[in-house]
Amino acid sequence: MTGSTATRTEAPLPKPEGLEGVVAASTALSHVFGEEGRLVYRGYDIHELANNASFEEVAYLLWVGHLPTASELTAFQQKLDANRALPEAAIEILRQMPKDAQPMDVLRTGISSVGPLLPDVFTDTPDLDQAMSLSALFPSVLATFFRLRQGLEPVAPKPGHNTAQSYLYQLFGTEPEERHWKPLQTYLILLADHGMNASTFTARVIASTQSDIVSALTGAIGALKGPLHGGAPSKVLDMLNEIGTAENVDPWLTAAFDRGDRLMGFGHRVYKAEDPRADILREMARTASDPDFFELSLQTETRALEMLNERKPGRRLYTNVEFYSAAVLAAVGLPGDMFTPTFAVARAVGWSAHVLEQVSNNRLIRPQSEFVGELGKKYVAIGRPLAVFSSGYADRRGIDPRRFCFFHGIRLNATGRSDVTSPRPQRSNPYQAF
Ligand code: ACO
């Protein structure tokens, strides 16, 4: 696909819509094999890691490049323990947040706040220590706000907990059960990194300007929030709750297709086969979630795939990671509005690993755009009292008539049209001009 450029002398630049297929960076961290439906972190298939590793091991793998030895893992866990507590001033900022604020907005604010509050930790040049410290704060920001919005006091993190345990402990204030923290840990592993997705690209763009790691991850949180990226799983939960019963699956899906809605939890820019993470999450949901809810999810998925195939033939739309994330995170005890923020807890590792990779071999990321605007316009000061040009002359000269008080003696409104109902402005009072 090609696009035109501003002047005829410039050669057309390639312009794939939404940057589809564009290689924006080199990475050794992870890769999505879209045709095969395969995801690899640092050479390990995602099934291999999800079935065997801890989230901390995977985080270390992504940051450092190899799985940790026992002593490296111990040192890393100590580092997490030492960095999970939020500065008191950050907790105060979270106290000021409206109780009905979206947790993703609060996460963005909370993470942004730790930059200036911990200037000795988060210096200008991102490094491994900063990546570990900043990632450790994500669960704490969320859990603190989760409690404050219910009128409860924050729970301080407890040394010795892994990330999944610590998050649940700080959220609910009780020792987490294995049947909850284990599925959460697998979820965190599955969501830790995913090639050049939109939020990772955002983090890398920010890092490429030689900005700091807090800025890079704050920007990434904003990119993750949208429903075309990380914002889908709560909408999956809404969809399943609205469907409610097996009999309502077909009528609900038919109405959604007829309205032209997108079905949340289906389709992917890169996967043209089933997302391998969806497969793992489906099996987790089968054992972890409420049996009726799981059955409804399964029936909805089956019919949605059949109808996508009928209504969107050839688009190769399959279940993505978000569909069964909803069932798994609900089973862990999280409300829908905490789903996307919990995705961010996992992805903070991937984002920060990409930031480190970007700065290790940096070049400013600065693409081109195809210019489709006008050229050759002339500046006219606002409020020039009397125009003497004809409208044809103004058009030919690229003059915007809305900049004038009067055009041929007729007062113009904000759209540049004559406004016969308005009184003429008094020359003595300049503020009466519009
Ligand atoms: N439901 C219905 N139709 C869909 C869906 C869907 N979920 N996804 C894509 N399509 C259709 C589009 O309408 C389009 O049809 P058309 O050719 O008739 O116009 C065609 O498939 C191609 O769609 P694009 O928008 O070009 O695909 P793109 O690669 O840009 O979109 C995306 C990928 C955004 C994930 C899309 O599939 C989608 O909106 N899915 C629903 C939201 C969702 O689940 N988001 C989470 C993604 S996973 C993640 O980021 C972690």
Q: Which of 312, 319, 340, 351 best tests ligand 1's pocket when mutated (most atoms within 8 Å of CB)?
A: 312
Say what the pLDDT of residue 401 is. Answer: 64
In contact, 63 and 349? CB cutoff 8 Å: yes
Q: Are 224 and 200 in contact (CB under 8 A)?
A: no
- Say which of 180, 194, 268, 354 is annotated catalytic: 268
CA atoms within 13 A on the CB side of 367: 15
Q: What is the distance, to the nearest Å, from the Cα of residue 172 to the centroid of all Cα atoms in its chain?
A: 25
Q: Which residue has a Cα nearest atom 40 of ligand 1?
A: 267
- DSSP structure class, residue 36: T
Residue with tokens 């030689």, as numbered in its chain: 210
What separation in Å is there between the alpha carbon of 341 and the centre of ligand 1?
A: 22
In the three-class reduction of DSSP (H, G, I as helix; E, B as strand; rest coil), residue 370 is classed as coil
Q: Specify whether 322 is catalytic.
A: yes
Ligand 1 centroid from CA 51, angstroms: 29
Q: What angle do CA 337, 158, 169 make, to 5 degrees?
A: 30
Probe residue for ligand 1, chosen from 228, 305, 307 as the CB with the greatest number of ligand atoms within 8 Å? 228
Q: Which protein residue has the closest C-alpha to ligand 1 atom 20?
A: 315
Structure confidence at residue 233 (pLDDT): 83
Q: Which atom of ligand 1 is nearest to the CA of 323?
A: 44
* CATH architecture group of domain 45-231+334-360: Orthogonal Bundle (1.10)
User: What's the CATH number of domain 234-326, 3.40.50.880, 1.20.140.10, 1.10.230.10, 3.20.20.240?
Assistant: 1.10.230.10
Per the annotation, the verdict on 268 as an active-site residue is yes
Atom of ligand 1 nearest to the CA of 18: 30
Which sequence spans correspond to the domains of the chain?
Answer: 45-231+334-360, 234-326, 378-434
Q: Find the helix or strand (DSSP H, E) in which 14 lies.
A: strand 13-14
Sign of CA dihedral 414, 416, 420, 425: positive
Q: What one-letter code names the amino acid at 71?
A: S
| Residue whose CA is at the smallest distance from ligand 1 atom 37 | 267
Cβ neighbours of residue 357 closer than 8 Å, sequence gap 6 or more: 25, 27, 28, 29
Cα-to-centroid distance, 228 and ligand 1 (Å): 8
What pLDDT score does 427 carry?
46
Alpha helices in 53-197 (DSSP H): 55-64, 70-83, 88-95, 103-117, 128-148, 163-172, 178-190
Query: For residue 418, what pLDDT is reported?
Result: 53
Nearest CA to ligand 1 atom 3: 262
Contact 313, 121 (CB under 8 A): no
C-alpha 205/C-alpha 196 separation (Å) is 11
Pick from 142, 199, 195, 218: which is nearest to 28 by CA? 195
Going from the Cα of 267 to the center of ligand 1, the distance in angstroms, rounded, reads 5
Q: CA nearest 132: which of 92, 208, 90, 81? A: 81
Position in ligand 1 atom list of the atom nearest CA 265? 44
Contact partners, residue 271, CB within 8 Å, separation at least 6: 32, 34, 37, 318, 320
Alpha-carbon dihedral 158, 162, 214, 63, rounded to 10 degrees: 150
What integer pLDDT is reported at residue 425 of this predicted model?
A: 46
What's the confidence (pLDDT) of residue 219?
98
CA of 104 to the centre of ligand 1 (A): 22
Which residue's CA lies nearest to atom 18 of ligand 1? 312
Phi then psi dihedrals of residue 64, to 5 deg? -100, -30
**Which ligand 1 atom sits closest to the C-alpha of 194?**
51
**Cα torsion for 220, 98, 135, 121, to the nearest 10°?**
100
Position in ligand 1 atom list of the atom nearest CA 20: 29
Beta bridge partners of 33: 38
- CA of 317 from ligand 1 middle (Å) equals 8
Tell how strand 38-41 and strand 44-45 pair up.
Answer: antiparallel
Pocket of ligand 1 (CB under 6 A): 18, 227-230, 232, 262-269, 312, 315, 317, 320-322
Residue 34 CA to ligand 1 center (angstroms) comes to 14
Residue nearest to atom 6 of ligand 1 (CA): 262
pTM of the model: 0.87
Closest Cα partner for 338 from 157, 96, 141? 141
Can you give the pLDDT of all 434 residues of the chain as single tens digits? 334 444 556 777 888 999 999 999 999 999 999 999 999 999 999 999 999 999 999 999 999 999 999 999 999 999 999 999 999 999 999 999 999 999 999 999 999 999 999 999 998 899 999 999 999 999 999 999 999 999 999 999 999 999 999 999 999 999 999 999 999 999 999 999 999 999 999 999 999 999 999 999 999 999 999 989 998 888 999 999 999 999 999 999 999 999 999 999 999 999 999 999 999 999 999 999 999 999 999 999 999 999 999 999 999 999 999 999 999 999 999 999 999 999 999 999 999 999 999 999 999 999 999 999 999 999 989 886 555 556 666 677 666 666 655 555 555 555 555 544 444 444 444 333 33
Distance between CA atoms of residues 273 and 184, nearest Å: 25
Element (H, E) at 410: strand 410-411
